[in-house]
A and B are shown apart, each in its own frame.
Chain A
Amino acid sequence: MTDLKKLYEAVVNGDAKAAHAITQQALAEGVDPLVLVNQHMIPAMDEVGRRFEASEYFVPELLIAARAMKSALDLIRPLLVARGDKPVGRVAIGTVKGDLHDIGKNLVASLLEGGGFEVIDLGVNVPPEKFIETVREKQANIVAMSALLTTTMPAMKTTIDALKQAGVRNQVKVLVGGAPITEKYAEEIGADGYSENAVGAVALAKKVVAA
Protein backbone atom coordinates (compact mmCIF):
# COMPACT_ATOMS: atom_id res chain seq x y z
CA MET A 1 0.00 0.00 0.00
CA THR A 2 1.08 3.52 -0.74
CA ASP A 3 2.16 5.52 2.27
CA LEU A 4 -0.36 8.38 2.12
CA LYS A 5 1.60 10.41 4.65
CA LYS A 6 3.94 10.97 1.70
CA LEU A 7 1.12 12.68 -0.21
CA TYR A 8 0.70 15.13 2.66
CA GLU A 9 4.43 15.78 2.69
CA ALA A 10 4.60 16.22 -1.08
CA VAL A 11 1.94 18.94 -0.96
CA VAL A 12 3.49 20.71 2.05
CA ASN A 13 6.90 20.64 0.40
CA GLY A 14 5.55 21.61 -3.00
CA ASP A 15 6.76 18.47 -4.75
CA ALA A 16 4.32 18.26 -7.67
CA LYS A 17 5.92 15.21 -9.23
CA ALA A 18 5.70 13.18 -6.04
CA ALA A 19 2.13 14.35 -5.34
CA HIS A 20 1.10 13.22 -8.80
CA ALA A 21 2.88 9.86 -8.60
CA ILE A 22 1.58 8.99 -5.12
CA THR A 23 -1.97 9.92 -6.09
CA GLN A 24 -1.79 7.83 -9.23
CA GLN A 25 -0.55 4.83 -7.30
CA ALA A 26 -3.12 5.23 -4.51
CA LEU A 27 -5.97 5.49 -7.01
CA ALA A 28 -4.70 2.37 -8.78
CA GLU A 29 -4.79 0.60 -5.43
CA GLY A 30 -8.41 1.59 -5.07
CA VAL A 31 -8.16 4.34 -2.44
CA ASP A 32 -11.27 6.53 -2.46
CA PRO A 33 -10.35 9.84 -4.13
CA LEU A 34 -12.26 11.78 -1.48
CA VAL A 35 -10.14 10.17 1.21
CA LEU A 36 -7.04 11.46 -0.56
CA VAL A 37 -8.48 14.97 -0.74
CA ASN A 38 -10.09 15.26 2.68
CA GLN A 39 -7.69 13.29 4.83
CA HIS A 40 -4.36 14.12 3.23
CA MET A 41 -4.35 17.00 0.75
CA ILE A 42 -6.62 19.47 2.50
CA PRO A 43 -4.81 18.98 5.83
CA ALA A 44 -1.58 19.55 3.89
CA MET A 45 -2.88 22.86 2.48
CA ASP A 46 -4.02 23.79 5.98
CA GLU A 47 -0.47 23.22 7.20
CA VAL A 48 0.86 25.33 4.31
CA GLY A 49 -1.56 28.06 5.38
CA ARG A 50 -0.42 27.78 8.98
CA ARG A 51 3.21 28.14 7.92
CA PHE A 52 2.29 31.18 5.83
CA GLU A 53 0.50 32.82 8.76
CA ALA A 54 3.52 32.08 10.92
CA SER A 55 5.82 33.75 8.34
CA GLU A 56 7.62 30.44 7.78
CA TYR A 57 6.26 30.31 4.24
CA PHE A 58 5.96 33.15 1.74
CA VAL A 59 4.45 33.45 -1.72
CA PRO A 60 6.94 31.16 -3.51
CA GLU A 61 6.26 28.27 -1.09
CA LEU A 62 2.50 28.86 -1.38
CA LEU A 63 2.67 28.74 -5.14
CA ILE A 64 4.62 25.52 -5.36
CA ALA A 65 2.40 23.86 -2.75
CA ALA A 66 -0.69 24.89 -4.72
CA ARG A 67 0.94 23.50 -7.83
CA ALA A 68 1.58 20.16 -6.11
CA MET A 69 -2.02 20.11 -4.93
CA LYS A 70 -3.21 20.80 -8.45
CA SER A 71 -1.09 18.03 -9.97
CA ALA A 72 -2.88 15.56 -7.67
CA LEU A 73 -6.31 17.15 -8.17
CA ASP A 74 -5.95 16.87 -11.95
CA LEU A 75 -6.09 13.09 -11.48
CA ILE A 76 -8.81 13.15 -8.87
CA ARG A 77 -11.28 15.70 -10.21
CA PRO A 78 -12.43 13.70 -13.27
CA LEU A 79 -13.22 10.78 -10.96
CA LEU A 80 -15.24 12.97 -8.61
CA VAL A 81 -17.13 14.56 -11.49
CA ALA A 82 -17.87 11.12 -13.00
CA ARG A 83 -19.50 9.94 -9.81
CA GLY A 84 -21.41 13.18 -9.34
CA ASP A 85 -19.49 14.70 -6.41
CA LYS A 86 -19.84 18.47 -6.33
CA PRO A 87 -17.00 20.91 -5.78
CA VAL A 88 -16.98 22.85 -2.49
CA GLY A 89 -18.10 25.88 -4.43
CA ARG A 90 -17.81 27.56 -7.80
CA VAL A 91 -15.87 30.82 -7.86
CA ALA A 92 -15.91 33.48 -10.56
CA ILE A 93 -12.66 35.38 -10.00
CA GLY A 94 -11.08 38.36 -11.72
CA THR A 95 -9.43 41.74 -11.31
CA VAL A 96 -11.96 44.53 -11.53
CA LYS A 97 -12.55 46.75 -14.52
CA GLY A 98 -9.55 49.00 -15.15
CA ASP A 99 -7.14 46.86 -13.13
CA LEU A 100 -4.58 44.76 -14.96
CA HIS A 101 -2.60 43.46 -11.98
CA ASP A 102 -3.18 39.76 -11.70
CA ILE A 103 -0.43 38.37 -9.47
CA GLY A 104 -2.61 38.39 -6.35
CA LYS A 105 -5.67 37.12 -8.19
CA ASN A 106 -3.71 34.23 -9.72
CA LEU A 107 -2.38 33.22 -6.34
CA VAL A 108 -5.85 33.25 -4.78
CA ALA A 109 -7.20 31.26 -7.76
CA SER A 110 -4.58 28.52 -7.38
CA LEU A 111 -5.10 28.27 -3.64
CA LEU A 112 -8.88 28.10 -4.08
CA GLU A 113 -8.43 25.23 -6.54
CA GLY A 114 -6.15 23.61 -4.02
CA GLY A 115 -8.91 24.05 -1.45
CA GLY A 116 -11.37 22.07 -3.57
CA PHE A 117 -13.20 24.93 -5.31
CA GLU A 118 -13.98 25.02 -8.99
CA VAL A 119 -12.46 28.26 -10.22
CA ILE A 120 -13.67 30.17 -13.25
CA ASP A 121 -10.86 32.62 -13.91
CA LEU A 122 -12.22 35.62 -15.81
CA GLY A 123 -8.77 37.21 -16.07
CA VAL A 124 -8.04 40.92 -15.75
CA ASN A 125 -10.05 44.09 -16.37
CA VAL A 126 -13.33 42.23 -15.88
CA PRO A 127 -16.44 44.37 -16.47
CA PRO A 128 -19.42 43.92 -14.10
CA GLU A 129 -21.49 42.37 -16.93
CA LYS A 130 -18.96 39.54 -17.24
CA PHE A 131 -19.30 38.68 -13.54
CA ILE A 132 -23.10 38.77 -13.86
CA GLU A 133 -23.04 36.54 -16.93
CA THR A 134 -20.82 34.00 -15.13
CA VAL A 135 -23.11 33.93 -12.11
CA ARG A 136 -26.12 33.39 -14.36
CA GLU A 137 -24.73 30.92 -16.85
CA LYS A 138 -22.16 28.98 -14.83
CA GLN A 139 -23.98 29.14 -11.49
CA ALA A 140 -20.98 30.53 -9.67
CA ASN A 141 -21.84 30.97 -6.01
CA ILE A 142 -18.85 33.14 -5.14
CA VAL A 143 -17.66 36.27 -6.92
CA ALA A 144 -14.07 37.10 -5.96
CA MET A 145 -12.68 40.47 -7.00
CA SER A 146 -9.17 41.84 -6.79
CA ALA A 147 -7.83 45.38 -7.18
CA LEU A 148 -4.26 46.54 -6.66
CA LEU A 149 -4.82 50.24 -7.14
CA THR A 150 -6.69 52.85 -5.15
CA THR A 151 -7.77 54.13 -8.53
CA THR A 152 -9.49 50.89 -9.49
CA MET A 153 -10.94 49.77 -6.16
CA PRO A 154 -14.15 51.77 -6.68
CA ALA A 155 -14.98 49.32 -9.49
CA MET A 156 -15.66 46.75 -6.76
CA LYS A 157 -18.60 48.79 -5.59
CA THR A 158 -19.76 49.32 -9.18
CA THR A 159 -19.70 45.56 -9.68
CA ILE A 160 -21.62 44.82 -6.49
CA ASP A 161 -24.21 47.43 -7.46
CA ALA A 162 -24.48 45.85 -10.91
CA LEU A 163 -25.00 42.39 -9.37
CA LYS A 164 -27.86 43.88 -7.34
CA GLN A 165 -29.40 45.56 -10.37
CA ALA A 166 -29.21 42.33 -12.31
CA GLY A 167 -31.05 40.61 -9.50
CA VAL A 168 -28.33 38.05 -8.78
CA ARG A 169 -26.69 39.56 -5.73
CA ASN A 170 -28.46 37.17 -3.35
CA GLN A 171 -27.29 34.11 -5.32
CA VAL A 172 -23.63 34.81 -4.59
CA LYS A 173 -21.21 35.70 -1.86
CA VAL A 174 -18.88 38.52 -2.84
CA LEU A 175 -15.29 38.42 -1.62
CA VAL A 176 -12.76 41.21 -2.16
CA GLY A 177 -9.03 41.62 -1.73
CA GLY A 178 -5.95 43.51 -2.91
CA ALA A 179 -3.30 45.82 -1.50
CA PRO A 180 -5.44 48.92 -0.80
CA ILE A 181 -8.54 47.02 0.36
CA THR A 182 -9.47 46.96 4.03
CA GLU A 183 -12.11 45.18 6.08
CA LYS A 184 -13.85 48.49 6.51
CA TYR A 185 -13.93 49.19 2.79
CA ALA A 186 -15.33 45.72 2.13
CA GLU A 187 -18.13 46.44 4.59
CA GLU A 188 -18.81 49.88 3.13
CA ILE A 189 -19.33 48.57 -0.38
CA GLY A 190 -21.49 45.67 0.81
CA ALA A 191 -19.11 42.76 0.18
CA ASP A 192 -19.57 39.53 2.15
CA GLY A 193 -15.95 39.21 3.09
CA TYR A 194 -12.41 40.47 2.84
CA SER A 195 -9.10 38.71 3.28
CA GLU A 196 -5.72 40.29 3.72
CA ASN A 197 -3.94 37.42 1.98
CA ALA A 198 -4.46 34.42 -0.28
CA VAL A 199 -4.45 31.85 2.49
CA GLY A 200 -7.13 33.73 4.38
CA ALA A 201 -9.16 33.95 1.16
CA VAL A 202 -9.56 30.17 1.02
CA ALA A 203 -10.69 29.97 4.65
CA LEU A 204 -13.08 32.83 4.00
CA ALA A 205 -14.51 31.20 0.88
CA LYS A 206 -15.14 27.99 2.83
CA LYS A 207 -16.80 29.96 5.58
CA VAL A 208 -19.17 31.87 3.32
CA VAL A 209 -20.30 28.80 1.35
CA ALA A 210 -20.99 26.97 4.60
CA ALA A 211 -23.01 29.89 5.99
Chain B
Amino acid sequence: MHPLIGQLLGAGPVITDGAWGTQLQARGLALGEFPDAWNLSHPDRVAEVAAAYVAAGSRIILTNTFGANRLRLGDHGAADQVRQLNQAGVKLSRQAAEGRARVFASIGPTGKMLLSGDVSEEEMAAAFAEQARALAEAGADGLVVETMADLQEATLAVKAAVETGLPVVACMVFDSGKAKDRTLMGNTPEQAAEALAAAGAEVIGANCGQGIAGFEPICRRLKAATDRPIWIKANAGLPRMVEGRPHYDTTPEEFAGHIPALIEAGASFVGGCCGTSPAFIAAVCRVLAARP
Protein backbone atom coordinates (compact mmCIF):
# COMPACT_ATOMS: atom_id res chain seq x y z
CA MET B 1 0.00 0.00 0.00
CA HIS B 2 1.18 3.51 -0.79
CA PRO B 3 2.23 5.23 2.47
CA LEU B 4 -0.21 8.11 1.93
CA ILE B 5 -3.16 5.74 1.53
CA GLY B 6 -2.09 3.87 4.68
CA GLN B 7 -1.78 7.14 6.57
CA LEU B 8 -5.22 8.35 5.46
CA LEU B 9 -6.89 5.05 6.38
CA GLY B 10 -5.19 5.00 9.78
CA ALA B 11 -7.84 7.37 11.10
CA GLY B 12 -10.86 5.38 9.89
CA PRO B 13 -13.07 5.92 6.84
CA VAL B 14 -12.00 8.89 4.75
CA ILE B 15 -14.59 11.44 3.68
CA THR B 16 -13.96 12.79 0.20
CA ASP B 17 -15.85 15.57 -1.56
CA GLY B 18 -19.06 16.02 -3.58
CA ALA B 19 -19.94 17.30 -7.03
CA TRP B 20 -18.17 20.27 -8.61
CA GLY B 21 -20.17 21.02 -11.75
CA THR B 22 -23.41 21.81 -9.94
CA GLN B 23 -21.49 23.95 -7.43
CA LEU B 24 -19.91 25.94 -10.24
CA GLN B 25 -23.32 26.39 -11.82
CA ALA B 26 -24.58 27.80 -8.56
CA ARG B 27 -21.76 30.33 -8.97
CA GLY B 28 -22.67 31.30 -12.51
CA LEU B 29 -21.29 28.61 -14.82
CA ALA B 30 -23.71 28.63 -17.75
CA LEU B 31 -25.59 25.50 -18.79
CA GLY B 32 -23.35 23.73 -21.31
CA GLU B 33 -20.26 25.83 -20.50
CA PHE B 34 -17.03 23.81 -20.07
CA PRO B 35 -16.33 23.78 -16.29
CA ASP B 36 -12.57 23.19 -16.48
CA ALA B 37 -12.07 26.45 -18.39
CA TRP B 38 -13.03 28.27 -15.19
CA ASN B 39 -9.69 27.31 -13.61
CA LEU B 40 -8.24 30.14 -15.67
CA SER B 41 -11.24 32.42 -16.29
CA HIS B 42 -12.89 32.34 -12.80
CA PRO B 43 -10.26 30.92 -10.42
CA ASP B 44 -11.84 32.63 -7.38
CA ARG B 45 -15.12 30.77 -7.84
CA VAL B 46 -13.42 27.41 -8.39
CA ALA B 47 -11.44 28.04 -5.21
CA GLU B 48 -14.71 28.74 -3.37
CA VAL B 49 -16.04 25.29 -4.25
CA ALA B 50 -12.85 23.63 -3.08
CA ALA B 51 -12.90 25.66 0.15
CA ALA B 52 -16.56 24.82 0.77
CA TYR B 53 -15.75 21.10 0.72
CA VAL B 54 -12.78 21.54 3.04
CA ALA B 55 -14.99 23.53 5.41
CA ALA B 56 -17.68 20.83 5.23
CA GLY B 57 -15.17 18.23 6.42
CA SER B 58 -13.68 16.62 3.31
CA ARG B 59 -10.31 15.03 4.05
CA ILE B 60 -9.69 14.57 0.36
CA ILE B 61 -10.82 17.10 -2.22
CA LEU B 62 -10.61 16.62 -5.95
CA THR B 63 -9.84 19.18 -8.65
CA ASN B 64 -11.78 20.88 -11.40
CA THR B 65 -9.86 18.95 -14.06
CA PHE B 66 -12.27 16.13 -14.92
CA GLY B 67 -12.37 16.95 -18.63
CA ALA B 68 -8.93 18.49 -19.04
CA ASN B 69 -7.40 15.90 -21.34
CA ARG B 70 -6.22 16.74 -24.85
CA LEU B 71 -8.97 14.78 -26.61
CA ARG B 72 -11.80 16.47 -24.77
CA LEU B 73 -10.18 19.91 -24.73
CA GLY B 74 -9.84 19.58 -28.49
CA ASP B 75 -13.64 19.58 -28.73
CA HIS B 76 -13.58 22.98 -27.03
CA GLY B 77 -10.74 24.35 -29.16
CA ALA B 78 -8.41 24.29 -26.17
CA ALA B 79 -6.08 21.34 -26.86
CA ASP B 80 -3.08 23.56 -26.22
CA GLN B 81 -4.22 24.33 -22.66
CA VAL B 82 -3.79 20.89 -21.10
CA ARG B 83 -0.91 21.95 -18.91
CA GLN B 84 -2.31 25.32 -17.81
CA LEU B 85 -5.80 24.08 -16.96
CA ASN B 86 -4.59 21.06 -15.00
CA GLN B 87 -1.91 22.94 -13.12
CA ALA B 88 -4.30 25.77 -12.26
CA GLY B 89 -6.86 23.20 -11.06
CA VAL B 90 -4.39 21.58 -8.67
CA LYS B 91 -3.15 24.95 -7.45
CA LEU B 92 -6.68 26.13 -6.62
CA SER B 93 -7.53 22.97 -4.70
CA ARG B 94 -4.21 23.01 -2.86
CA GLN B 95 -4.65 26.62 -1.79
CA ALA B 96 -8.15 25.89 -0.54
CA ALA B 97 -6.99 22.76 1.29
CA GLU B 98 -4.34 24.70 3.22
CA GLY B 99 -2.92 21.42 4.43
CA ARG B 100 -6.25 20.43 6.03
CA ALA B 101 -7.22 18.13 3.17
CA ARG B 102 -5.33 16.11 0.59
CA VAL B 103 -5.72 16.96 -3.07
CA PHE B 104 -6.45 14.04 -5.39
CA ALA B 105 -6.65 15.34 -8.93
CA SER B 106 -9.48 14.25 -11.18
CA ILE B 107 -8.95 12.47 -14.51
CA GLY B 108 -12.19 11.75 -16.39
CA PRO B 109 -12.86 9.85 -19.59
CA THR B 110 -11.83 11.21 -22.99
CA GLY B 111 -15.35 11.08 -24.39
CA LYS B 112 -14.05 9.00 -27.30
CA MET B 113 -14.68 5.33 -27.85
CA LEU B 114 -11.84 2.91 -28.58
CA LEU B 115 -14.24 0.29 -29.93
CA SER B 116 -15.67 2.53 -32.61
CA GLY B 117 -12.22 3.58 -33.78
CA ASP B 118 -12.70 7.26 -32.89
CA VAL B 119 -9.30 7.21 -31.28
CA SER B 120 -6.37 4.78 -31.01
CA GLU B 121 -5.05 3.26 -27.78
CA GLU B 122 -1.81 5.15 -28.31
CA GLU B 123 -3.57 8.52 -28.65
CA MET B 124 -5.64 7.84 -25.57
CA ALA B 125 -2.67 6.70 -23.49
CA ALA B 126 -0.71 9.77 -24.55
CA ALA B 127 -3.58 12.09 -23.60
CA PHE B 128 -3.85 10.57 -20.12
CA ALA B 129 -0.07 10.63 -19.64
CA GLU B 130 0.07 14.30 -20.54
CA GLN B 131 -2.73 15.18 -18.11
CA ALA B 132 -1.34 13.02 -15.29
CA ARG B 133 2.11 14.60 -15.63
CA ALA B 134 0.68 18.12 -15.49
CA LEU B 135 -1.35 17.27 -12.37
CA ALA B 136 1.62 15.63 -10.64
CA GLU B 137 3.99 18.49 -11.45
CA ALA B 138 1.54 20.95 -9.90
CA GLY B 139 1.72 19.07 -6.59
CA ALA B 140 -1.32 16.76 -6.46
CA ASP B 141 -1.16 14.23 -3.60
CA GLY B 142 -2.87 11.55 -5.65
CA LEU B 143 -4.77 10.98 -8.88
CA VAL B 144 -8.36 9.80 -9.33
CA VAL B 145 -9.33 8.12 -12.57
CA GLU B 146 -13.12 8.40 -12.36
CA THR B 147 -16.48 7.99 -14.07
CA MET B 148 -15.02 5.44 -16.46
CA ALA B 149 -17.46 3.44 -18.59
CA ASP B 150 -14.89 1.43 -20.54
CA LEU B 151 -12.47 -0.79 -18.63
CA GLN B 152 -9.96 -0.64 -21.46
CA GLU B 153 -9.91 3.16 -21.30
CA ALA B 154 -9.76 3.10 -17.50
CA THR B 155 -6.80 0.74 -17.62
CA LEU B 156 -4.93 3.03 -20.02
CA ALA B 157 -5.61 5.98 -17.72
CA VAL B 158 -4.47 4.11 -14.60
CA LYS B 159 -1.25 2.97 -16.24
CA ALA B 160 -0.51 6.55 -17.32
CA ALA B 161 -1.36 7.89 -13.84
CA VAL B 162 0.79 5.29 -12.06
CA GLU B 163 3.82 6.47 -14.04
CA THR B 164 3.82 9.68 -11.96
CA GLY B 165 4.57 7.73 -8.78
CA LEU B 166 1.47 9.15 -7.07
CA PRO B 167 -1.14 6.84 -5.51
CA VAL B 168 -3.92 6.23 -8.02
CA VAL B 169 -7.63 5.72 -7.33
CA ALA B 170 -9.61 4.10 -10.15
CA CYS B 171 -13.39 4.05 -10.22
CA MET B 172 -15.96 3.13 -12.78
CA VAL B 173 -19.65 3.64 -13.39
CA PHE B 174 -21.80 0.55 -12.84
CA ASP B 175 -25.29 1.31 -14.13
CA SER B 176 -25.88 -1.06 -17.04
CA GLY B 177 -27.61 -4.41 -17.32
CA LYS B 178 -30.77 -5.57 -15.62
CA ALA B 179 -29.26 -5.46 -12.14
CA LYS B 180 -27.42 -2.17 -12.83
CA ASP B 181 -24.20 -3.89 -11.83
CA ARG B 182 -22.22 -3.70 -15.08
CA THR B 183 -20.29 -1.00 -16.83
CA LEU B 184 -21.61 0.34 -20.13
CA MET B 185 -19.35 -2.20 -21.85
CA GLY B 186 -20.67 -5.04 -19.72
CA ASN B 187 -17.83 -5.55 -17.26
CA THR B 188 -18.62 -6.74 -13.74
CA PRO B 189 -17.23 -5.24 -10.52
CA GLU B 190 -15.02 -8.33 -10.22
CA GLN B 191 -13.54 -7.88 -13.70
CA ALA B 192 -12.99 -4.17 -13.08
CA ALA B 193 -11.33 -4.76 -9.70
CA GLU B 194 -8.96 -7.31 -11.14
CA ALA B 195 -7.94 -5.28 -14.20
CA LEU B 196 -7.59 -1.97 -12.34
CA ALA B 197 -5.50 -3.52 -9.57
CA ALA B 198 -3.31 -5.23 -12.17
CA ALA B 199 -2.83 -1.83 -13.86
CA GLY B 200 -1.51 -0.49 -10.57
CA ALA B 201 -4.45 1.28 -8.92
CA GLU B 202 -4.00 1.59 -5.13
CA VAL B 203 -7.69 2.20 -4.48
CA ILE B 204 -10.61 0.85 -6.50
CA GLY B 205 -14.18 1.97 -6.61
CA ALA B 206 -17.42 3.06 -8.16
CA ASN B 207 -18.91 6.50 -8.77
CA CYS B 208 -21.75 8.29 -10.54
CA GLY B 209 -24.43 6.55 -12.60
CA GLN B 210 -27.07 5.78 -10.02
CA GLY B 211 -28.39 6.82 -6.65
CA ILE B 212 -26.62 5.80 -3.48
CA ALA B 213 -28.99 2.89 -2.71
CA GLY B 214 -27.58 0.92 -5.66
CA PHE B 215 -23.97 1.18 -4.48
CA GLU B 216 -24.04 -1.17 -1.53
CA PRO B 217 -24.04 -4.48 -3.48
CA ILE B 218 -21.43 -3.13 -5.89
CA CYS B 219 -19.25 -2.04 -2.98
CA ARG B 220 -19.54 -5.48 -1.42
CA ARG B 221 -18.54 -7.21 -4.63
CA LEU B 222 -15.58 -4.89 -5.23
CA LYS B 223 -14.41 -5.48 -1.69
CA ALA B 224 -14.63 -9.26 -2.08
CA ALA B 225 -12.78 -9.13 -5.39
CA THR B 226 -9.69 -7.18 -4.33
CA ASP B 227 -7.40 -6.48 -1.39
CA ARG B 228 -7.32 -2.78 -2.34
CA PRO B 229 -9.31 -0.23 -0.32
CA ILE B 230 -12.66 0.76 -1.85
CA TRP B 231 -13.74 4.25 -2.94
CA ILE B 232 -17.45 5.09 -3.36
CA LYS B 233 -18.94 8.36 -4.64
CA ALA B 234 -22.65 8.01 -5.36
CA ASN B 235 -25.09 10.33 -7.07
CA ALA B 236 -27.92 12.04 -5.22
CA GLY B 237 -30.37 10.02 -7.33
CA LEU B 238 -31.33 10.93 -10.88
CA PRO B 239 -32.19 14.54 -11.61
CA ARG B 240 -35.53 15.94 -12.66
CA MET B 241 -35.90 19.35 -14.16
CA VAL B 242 -37.43 22.11 -12.13
CA GLU B 243 -37.80 25.41 -13.94
CA GLY B 244 -35.15 24.44 -16.45
CA ARG B 245 -32.59 23.43 -13.86
CA PRO B 246 -31.71 19.91 -12.71
CA HIS B 247 -33.05 19.08 -9.29
CA TYR B 248 -32.01 16.04 -7.23
CA ASP B 249 -34.57 14.66 -4.83
CA THR B 250 -32.23 12.90 -2.39
CA THR B 251 -31.62 15.08 0.67
CA PRO B 252 -28.24 15.31 2.44
CA GLU B 253 -29.69 13.42 5.41
CA GLU B 254 -31.08 10.58 3.27
CA PHE B 255 -27.78 10.33 1.46
CA ALA B 256 -25.75 10.29 4.66
CA GLY B 257 -28.09 7.66 6.08
CA HIS B 258 -26.72 5.17 3.52
CA ILE B 259 -23.09 5.77 4.42
CA PRO B 260 -22.81 3.42 7.44
CA ALA B 261 -24.10 0.53 5.29
CA LEU B 262 -21.53 1.36 2.61
CA ILE B 263 -18.75 1.34 5.18
CA GLU B 264 -20.03 -1.94 6.52
CA ALA B 265 -19.98 -3.21 2.91
CA GLY B 266 -16.28 -2.36 2.73
CA ALA B 267 -15.96 1.25 1.61
CA SER B 268 -12.93 3.08 3.00
CA PHE B 269 -13.37 6.32 1.06
CA VAL B 270 -16.84 7.86 0.81
CA GLY B 271 -18.18 10.97 -0.86
CA GLY B 272 -20.70 12.14 -3.42
CA CYS B 273 -21.01 12.58 -7.16
CA CYS B 274 -23.62 14.41 -9.29
CA GLY B 275 -26.16 16.39 -7.30
CA THR B 276 -24.26 16.32 -4.01
CA SER B 277 -22.95 19.48 -2.33
CA PRO B 278 -20.99 20.58 0.73
CA ALA B 279 -24.23 20.09 2.72
CA PHE B 280 -24.11 16.37 1.80
CA ILE B 281 -20.50 16.08 2.95
CA ALA B 282 -21.31 17.86 6.21
CA ALA B 283 -24.20 15.42 6.75
CA VAL B 284 -21.89 12.45 6.06
CA CYS B 285 -19.42 13.86 8.60
CA ARG B 286 -22.16 14.13 11.22
CA VAL B 287 -23.32 10.57 10.63
CA LEU B 288 -19.79 9.18 10.85
CA ALA B 289 -18.96 11.23 13.95
CA ALA B 290 -22.04 9.78 15.65
CA ARG B 291 -20.92 6.20 15.01
CA PRO B 292 -19.60 4.31 18.02
Contact = CB atoms under 8 A, between A and B. Distances in A.
A203 interface: no
Interface stretch (B193-201, B234-242, B276-284): B234-242
Contacts of A180: 238-239, 246
Contacts of B115: 59-60, 63
A55 B29 CA distance: 38
A54 interface: yes
Contacts of B182: 55, 58
Specify the main secondary structure of chain B where it touches its partner.
loop
Given A59-B186, A106-B113, A149 B32 contact: yes
Interface residues of A, number: 31
Contacts of B177: 55, 58
Given A100-B111, A151-B21, A60 B240 contact: no
Contacts of A78: none
A182 B32 contact: no
Contacts of A106: 113, 116
Interface string B225-249: 0000000000000111100111000
A151 B244 contact: no
Given A151-B21, A180-B238, A58 B176 contact: yes
13 contacts: A55-B177, A58-B176, A59-B184, A60-B115, A98-B33, A100-B72, A103-B116, A124-B75, A150-B22, A150-B239, A151-B29, A154-B31, A157-B244
A149 to B, nearest CB: 7
A97 interface: yes
B26 to A, nearest CB: 12
A180 B108 CA distance: 18
Interface string B185-223: 110000000000000000000000000000000000000
Specify the main secondary structure of chain A where it touches its partner.
loop
Interface string B7-25: 0000000000000011001
Nearest to A103: B113
Contacts of B22: 150
A55 B149 CA distance: 16
Interface of B: 21-22, 25, 29, 31-33, 72, 75-76, 111-113, 115-116, 149, 176-179, 182, 184-186, 238-241, 244-246, 274
B184 A185 contact: no
Given A55-B177, A103-B111, A154-B31, 5 more contacts: A60-B185, A100-B75, A149-B21, A149-B32, A180-B238
Interface in A34-61: 53-55, 57-61
A152 B32 contact: yes
Given A99-B32, A106-B116, A149-B32, A55 B179 contact: yes
Contacts of A150: 22, 239, 246, 274
Contact of B186 (A60, A157, A182, A188): A60
A182 B240 contact: yes
Nearest to B187: A58
Contacts of B178: 53-55
Cβ-closest 10 pairs across A and B: A98-B32, A58-B186, A150-B246, A55-B177, A151-B31, A100-B75, A55-B178, A152-B32, A150-B239, A154-B244
Given A55-B178, A55-B179, A59-B185, A153 B116 contact: no
B185 A58 contact: yes
